[in-house]
Amino acid sequence: GQFFVMMSPQEVLQGGTQRSIASRAHPYSPKSEAPRATRDEKRRAQHNEVERRRRDKINNWIVQLSKIIPDCSMENTKSG
């Protein structure tokens, strides 16, 4: 394959030169866990609500189909 050098020829030829890296103005400080926990709880609660609605919708369709299809009663739907 091909290699591309993203420096000027002078920088490539002067291999002993050290490049400086800009320092951060503010040191890294991880956020406290309390806001993250409440955010996770809200997301979990919302997900649970969506899943509950999905299951309810599926169960309602099963009940409606069991009423339409002959010889299909609720006792038989649980056992397969």
Report the alpha-carbon distance of residue 70 to residue 63 in Å, rounded: 13
Q: Where are the domains of the chain?
A: 41-69
Question: What is the band of 23 on the pLDDT scale with cuts at 50, 70, 90?
Answer: low
pTM check: above 0.85:
no
For the cut 60, the answer to whether the pLDDT of residue 16 exceeds it is no
Show the tokens assigned to 48.
């649970």
Predicted confidence (pLDDT) at residue 14 exceeds the cutoff of 90: no
The answer to whether residue 5 scores a pLDDT higher than 80 is no
pLDDT tens across 26-67, in order?
A: 666 665 556 888 999 999 999 999 999 999 999 999 999 988
